[in-house]
Amino acid sequence: RYLAVTAKRNRRSTASDLSRQLSSATGTTVSRQTVYRRLGHIGLYARRPIRCVPLTATHCRLRLAWSRAHALWTPQQWSCVMFSDECRFSLQSDSHRTFIWRAPGTRYHQENTIERHRYGGAGWLVWGGIILGSRTDLHVQSVTMIGHIYRDVILEQHVRLFRGAMGAEFLFMDDNARPHRANIVDECLQSEDITRMDWPAYSPDLNPIEHVWADELQPVNPLPPVYRNFGGHCLMSGVIFPKIRLII
């Protein structure tokens, strides 16, 4: 019972932590394997927590409205949408190594989630876009994305080409990150006659490319220390590019 209560109070405790706490509180010494076994008997297992962005009531309302507005879209309508996204490869610690104790069927309960803003810390930024039957080239940079880079590189060198090929039905989806909403970006979209899809804030889970990043690219994180100090070319060519080519 002590193990169960302690694990539920501090779901991020490791089996070793729980073993030490039990020994300190009761004088009973058990192994890590015993902790796993005893907690498993009562339905608690070590699992990765769900990561989510912090949402307000307004965020939830706008996300629901967007989902309802697009629920009846046809495959033909979706085929005109280019979904784009940026993925940062952190050179620091990896939150995917964090585990919590939870029961089956409680994955999305609030106590089993960790709120995380999308980006933080040093790393490499990778941008890509997907559309039904095609994709953009991948853009990789070590600096923070700013409006000028987004306009001159992303829009001019990638998105504009797809708009020209598909015509007026083309829709471009990007999120509400500050560089994406800069005035120079809006002016570029207007001058190139590129229609931007309305997108609710804090909604990475609604973007299909976001799930591809998560499924295919997270295994490269955290990066071995040698790559953190050996330079960007080695980092990208030796670790990230081989996995990125599997995406889109």
**Amino acid letter at 94?**
D
Does 3.30.420.10 match the CATH number of domain 53-92+101-217?
yes
pLDDT tens digits, 125-177? 889 999 998 999 889 888 889 999 999 999 999 999 999 999 999 999 999 99
- Helix crossing, 32-41 with 15-26: angle to 10°? 90
What's 179's DSSP letter? G
Tokens of 242: 């081989």
Q: Which has the higher per-residue pLDDT, 37 or 70? A: 70
Give the pLDDT confidence of 193-233 residue by residue, as tens digits: 999 999 999 898 899 887 766 655 554 444 454 444 444 44
Percent helix, strand, coil in the chain, to 5, is 50, 15, 35
107 or 216, greater pLDDT: 107
Q: What is the pLDDT of residues 24-34, one digit of tens each?
A: 888 888 888 88
Ranges in the chain annotated CATH 3.30.420.10:
53-92+101-217
Q: What's the pLDDT at 241?
A: 47
Interhelix angle 15-26/2-9, nearest 10 degrees: 130
Rounded Cα distance between 125 and 107, Å, is: 29
Name every residue whose Cβ is closer than 8 Å to that of residue 119 and which is 6 or more positions away in sequence: 88
Tell me if 114 sits within 8 A of 51, measured CB to CB. yes
The more confidently predicted of residues 21 and 84 is 84
